[in-house]
Structure 1
């Protein structure tokens, strides 16, 4: 019996992140992880890199990180996944925005990584899924989607087959939540403890385990995790027959298709008690959190203004088209999930990050309002009403910080 396991590392920084933080994470995490993989040709991972981070790496002069990822991908040591470029919580935005974010992510990452960027799998930001997002993922040509183990709705946790989404046919893989969390929080930090955790099933049949976590865990959040855990693991695995490292796509290819299911709406931060109270996305959209409610209203108002302006794009002059394009760019950036996460107070809270997100969204609506030509006298009035509602929501948020 062999346990096939895969690491899926998710690396991302919000588009409003400050340069010193990027610099620190590159030094502590991204470069050392790439070095460890390069020095151990048998090691491999699945990698989600949101394209907003790819752009930031380029903007701040870290081309070596981009080139290192490209080289490892060309050697088969990195298996890319797709995502949304600016890391929005996909279940909270309409399908046209989901499709746009996925396309932006694909286009930007292909610009930097070239044709080696051909993701088969999809990583929803925060592993937040709901039934509404699967059709968009299918339309964009992906084969499989990863979500948290809590999303599994089958009576057994799939480890010997790949379950299928009952409507789209997408392959469904689920992370082992407890093992992933213990790795992330430095509770599984030596090879034997790790191997014994993976071999938790007493059976003759091969099975698989998927471990997914923030890549920044290694070296940045847990300073010694690369030196004391990842590198020794990479060195030991070629000499072991009981556990084998592979990518998530290799697991999907190795194991047969299984039962169909409709997974539960959830995220990788959702707990059983959250599902019991009907709150699948507690760190981003908790009905008992007034900040979340006003943030959501604020974003929906901004979406309305930009989509309204888009209807008049063909009648805009060049200056107005420039304003609309600014509005569209600010909205793409502004709907990143971090502003809601920092408003969750569970236990994370940062007024600075909340306000940075609000600013991007407000700029989107202001530019959208200014872009509309004088073709319909009712449109400016409608925009004015929407902006007044946005400012009411904005004031509620600001005054509560």
Structure 2
């Protein structure tokens, strides 16, 4: 069996220096150091162009150097993407292409002028069928998407062949396996030995496994989880490859018509034909106003294009303002942040008013939309709407996940806990008490997975991930 692991790392263009430094120390630095220390390990990653710039701006040049070293060694494959992490299904074609080319220019600056990516990661894994021919025109060979993009009407997905989009001549589609990705990132299986055991007879088959996760999960969101990756990498029971290598390893091809999805998609949203509900929901008044303002900004800035320095500044402002975070945090499913909502709306509004020769009526319309977004967000929060929406969504997630949390051998749990206790002591000695509390909570969580402990509800995973089946 071949294992191709994919990690996505990203921070929004407005991220504060404190968080760049913190996530770098807790996650990015550890991940890349461990890759350099494990010469057998290979990885395919999306490292967004804006994150490279934030690394440099915030004094994280050692991370850039580690990335470049791994890349030059041929053990790190970097995909293309959209520079500022916009949700591509809702952008016009010219904006999609612009974001992709901006990202390529930035990656060439940091990885070398001859850098040319084969693969593509759409932000939020937000795929729609019309994206495939656009990427093929730009020279890409493949895209990674969630397995819910696999068409239901097709025969069961096989992992001994490569699938190709029916609307692109020679363009491949790789599907992230939700089950194993969730099992790893949720921490439900905390050692490489147990994870490999869960694959059973599949390990002996000539097929591939693709996992895909946010890189920040390892070390930042879940202290100590970065060690799990390298227990898997160090195993001789599974062959580690980069995604592009699968194209040669599996010559059989099959044409399909993939459907729209994201990696945060829930099946209930797919049934309602709302694959992007966390970013664009017609029942969400804030979303509707956000996208109206987004469209106004794109149309207006494009219409009044010029070569003036003022216009170029407004254009760059719009590029950054298209990031997907603002819509995600307005979903209340269950994630919510008035700060992110306001900041995103303000960026879009300012890209309009800073554009030279922009008519006053357009500026006034943008201002009203900005106010509508912010005031509606405050009204929802005061009226208890957010609490109701968040609780409903969070309870549903819990119901889907808790019944089948895997029961881990006590010996394996103790191994993980002892490792984390050492880390907790280390960070406490450095007076990083907030971090020590995070590690403490992770230890408490792991103990719930012991086969000798009564399992309590958790918000991670899915009941279909019962590894005993």
- TM-score after normalising by structure 1: 0.90
For 2:19 and 2:134, the matched residues in 1 are separated by 33
Structure 1 6/156 Cα, relative in aligned 2: closer, same or farther at 3 Å? same
For 1:120 and 1:136, the matched residues in 2 are separated by 14
Instruction: Classify the secondary structure of the residue corresponding to 1:211.
Output: strand
1:28 positional shift = 0.7
Residue 164 of structure 1 contacts residue 257 of structure 1 at CA under 8 Å; is this kept in 2? no
Residue 166 of structure 1 contacts residue 262 of structure 1 at CA under 8 Å; is this kept in 2? yes
Instruction: Classify the secondary structure of the residue corresponding to 1:131.
Output: coil
Instruction: Classify the secondary structure of the residue corresponding to 2:112.
Output: helix
The equivalent of 1:375 in structure 2 is: none
The equivalent of 1:387 in structure 2 is: 363
Residue 66 of structure 1 contacts residue 113 of structure 1 at CA under 8 Å; is this kept in 2? no
For 2:252 and 2:124, the matched residues in 1 are separated by 25
Higher relative contact order (CA 8 A, sep 6+): 1
| Residue 295 of structure 1 pairs with residue 287 of structure 2 | no
The equivalent of 1:232 in structure 2 is: 231
For 2:322 and 2:127, the matched residues in 1 are separated by 17
The equivalent of 1:376 in structure 2 is: none
Aligned to 2:311, which of 293, 302, 324? 324
For 1:263 and 1:333, the matched residues in 2 are separated by 29
The CA deviation string for residues 88-112 of structure 1, in whole angstroms up to 9 with x for no partner, is: 0000100000000000000011101
For 1:32 and 1:107, the matched residues in 2 are separated by 27
For 1:354 and 1:139, the matched residues in 2 are separated by 34
The equivalent of 1:346 in structure 2 is: 333
The equivalent of 2:423 in structure 1 is: none
The equivalent of 1:188 in structure 2 is: 189
Q: Is there any run of 5+ residues in structure 1 with no aligned partner, and where?
A: 373-379
For 2:116 and 2:34, the matched residues in 1 are separated by 23
Aligned to 1:337, which of 301, 321, 324? 324
For 1:259 and 1:76, the matched residues in 2 are separated by 29
1:115 positional shift = 4.0
For 1:299 and 1:257, the matched residues in 2 are separated by 42
Structure 1 292/257 Cα, relative in aligned 2: closer, same or farther at 3 Å? farther
| Residue 304 of structure 1 pairs with residue 288 of structure 2 | no
The equivalent of 1:157 in structure 2 is: 157
For 1:127 and 1:343, the matched residues in 2 are separated by 19
Residue 49 of structure 2 contacts residue 107 of structure 2 at CA under 8 Å; is this kept in 1? yes
Instruction: Classify the secondary structure of the residue corresponding to 2:212.
Output: strand
Residue 302 of structure 1 contacts residue 331 of structure 1 at CA under 8 Å; is this kept in 2? yes
For 1:92 and 1:199, the matched residues in 2 are separated by 41
The CA deviation string for residues 201-240 of structure 1, in whole angstroms up to 9 with x for no partner, is: 48x640001000001111101101123x123333x32xx2
The CA deviation string for residues 274-328 of structure 1, in whole angstroms up to 9 with x for no partner, is: 0111101111111111111111101000001111111xx2xx6xxxx11110111
Residue 84 of structure 1 contacts residue 105 of structure 1 at CA under 8 Å; is this kept in 2? yes
The equivalent of 1:283 in structure 2 is: 278
Aligned to 1:65, which of 63, 79, 84? 63
1:260 positional shift = 1.1
For 1:281 and 1:88, the matched residues in 2 are separated by 13
Q: Is there any run of 5+ residues in structure 2 with no aligned partner, and where?
A: 378-469
1:392 positional shift = 2.4
For 2:264 and 2:114, the matched residues in 1 are separated by 31
Deviates more, 1:32-41 or 1:112-121: 112-121
The equivalent of 2:116 in structure 1 is: 118
Residue 160 of structure 2 contacts residue 252 of structure 2 at CA under 8 Å; is this kept in 1? no
For 2:201 and 2:178, the matched residues in 1 are separated by 14
1:200 positional shift = 5.8
Q: Please give the root-mean-square deviation of Cα atoms over the aligned residues, in Å.
A: 1.5
- TM-score after normalising by structure 2: 0.77
| Residue 178 of structure 1 pairs with residue 173 of structure 2 | no
Which structure 1 residue ranges, 4+ long, deviate > 6 Å from structure 2?
none
1:199 positional shift = 4.0
- What number of residue pairs does the alignment pair up? 374
Residue 49 of structure 2 contacts residue 84 of structure 2 at CA under 8 Å; is this kept in 1? yes
The CA deviation string for residues 99-129 of structure 1, in whole angstroms up to 9 with x for no partner, is: 0000000001110111463211000001101
Residue 196 of structure 2 contacts residue 232 of structure 2 at CA under 8 Å; is this kept in 1? no
For 2:5 and 2:42, the matched residues in 1 are separated by 8
1:350 positional shift = 0.5
The equivalent of 1:377 in structure 2 is: none
For 1:167 and 1:199, the matched residues in 2 are separated by 36
For 1:293 and 1:139, the matched residues in 2 are separated by 32
